[in-house]
Structures are given as C-alpha cells and as structure tokens.
Structure 1
Amino acid sequence: MLVEDNAGWHRSKKVKITSGIKLEFLPPYSPELQPAERLCKLGDEPLVNNCFETIDEIEELLVKRCQVLSEMKEEIRNLTFYHWLASI
C-alpha cells in the first residue's frame, strides 16, 4: 500500500501503478494524518522570495536551515504532536 495526499500529480492519469501496489489517498485537509507536512513552512522559510544562481547555493542554505531546525525541538513538537500519538 502506498499512501499519498491529494496533490494533482498523484492523481494524474499519466502515473503508472506497478502491479501489487494499492494506492490509498489521505482525505483533504487532514494534516494530523501527515504531521511532517506542517513543517514545510519552517523548512521553506529561507527559500521564499529568493533567487539562487546555483543548486549549491540552495543546498548550502538548506543545510544551514536544517541546523537551525535541529535546535527548534519544542517548536517542531508543537507543530507535529497530536494527543492521539501518545497512545500509539
């Protein structure tokens, strides 16, 4: 089973599904089923409204951002922790 969100490219008729794989789509507007999705804004923050000359520039910026995020444990927990996760 492959679980995907409802992004348009996941539902494209051009996508070929290999036999033996069953697709299951998350319901719309259900970030609690994919907690990591709530981190996108934190990860994307330094990239927004910037222009980069090379991939290396983007990579360097993202490495620095990951280092910052690794110190933001409480903020990340607040974004991704749901009460029902404690019982799993």
Structure 2
Amino acid sequence: MAEGHHRFQWLDVTAFVGPATGERVWYLSNGVSKPLFAGLLDAFAKEVGAGSTKRVVLLLDNAGFHTRPGLTVPDGLRLVYLPPYSPEPQPAETLWTLVDEPAVDRFIPGLDALENIVSERCRHLTTRQADISSRTSFAWWPKNHPPS
C-alpha cells in the first residue's frame, strides 16, 4: 500500500429546486458520497416538511451516489431518475452557470475564499426566483396545480 496525499480540495454545491416556482434549497459540502447525499436528503426533507402528509418528488440523474442500494431515503421523498443517456439534464443542472458566475476568470486564493463567494452567491440567488424558474421549468415539466 502506497501513501498518497490529495492535491485538490473540493467544494460541491447541491441544489434542490422546484422548477415551476423557482424555490430552491442549497447545500455546500467538500465532496460527494452516498452517505453524504443521504444526509442532504434528510436535511432537505426536514427543510421542506416532507413526510407522511407532504410528498416531494425529486428528479435525479443516475450518479452512483444518487442511487440505491445503500441510499437511505427519508419518508416523504420519492426519487425518480432520468433515463440513462437522457439528453435532458435534471433541472438543477441548469443553475451551475448562475452559481459559478462570480468566480469565473478570477484568482481565488483558497477554498475558504471560494466557499464565501459561492455561499454569498447562493444567498443572492434566493432573490431571483423568477430567473431560476425560467431556467428550470422545461416545457415537458409538469406545471404546479393546487392540491385537490
């Protein structure tokens, strides 16, 4: 076994978005894994009140950390997956250009500085609900209907 060291540090942004409304929940982390994603699902379910009386459907790609087996999904969340090789991205994928905008073509001295820039950007984007909805509500996406 050889010792090694990581040369890169990661900042990962996870976004859950309601395409029709532009409502979103952001999480920043230092990587991706199935246990971390399960924790994000749990935090998201609590944030939006998902449970026995409120069901939330999440459309995901087939990234290994998004899929079962071994992924704990909280009560009230239903995971639906895009078909393999789908030409359409999941709706949240369209947000990365907005999130990245303040960091493009800039020298960022370290991960803490990048995290501050991205955190501030995500806070700012909470005021742009209509812009987010216009990017995520694809023509094929179901429109919001009040519960009956």
- Does TM-score exceed 0.5, indicating one fold? yes
1:27 equivalenced with 2:53 (yes/no): no
- Structure 1: unaligned runs, 5 residues or longer: 11-19
The one-letter code matched in structure 2 to 1:63 is: S
Kindly indicate whether structure 1 or structure 2 has the higher relative contact order, using CA contacts under 8 Å at least 6 residues apart: 2
Give the match for residue 37 of structure 1.
Answer: 93
Aligned length: 71
> Which has the larger share of helix?
1
% same residue: 29
Distance verdict in 2 for CA 1:68–1:51, change over 3 Å: same
Compared with structure 1, are the counterparts of its residues 87 and 76 closer, same or farther at alpha carbon in structure 2 (3 Å cutoff)?
A: closer
> Which residue pairs with 1:85 in the alignment?
142
TM-score, with structure 1 as normaliser: 0.63
Residue 138 of structure 2 aligns with an amino acid whose one-letter code is: Y
Mapped to 2, the partners of 1:87 and 1:74 lie a distance apart of: 14
Inter-CA distance 87–27: structure 2 relative to 1 (3 Å threshold): farther
Judged with a 3 Å threshold, the aligned counterparts in structure 2 of structure 1 residues 39 and 26 are, in CA distance, closer, same or farther, namely farther
2:124 counterpart of 1:61: no
TM-superposed CA distance for 1:53, in Å, is: 1.2
Please state if 1:4 is matched with 2:69.
Answer: no
Give unpaired runs (5+ residues) of structure 2: 1-59, 71-81
RMSD, aligned α-carbons: 2.8
Q: Displacement of 1:25 after TM fit?
A: 5.7
Give 3-state SS (helix, strand or coil) of 2:102's partner. Answer: coil
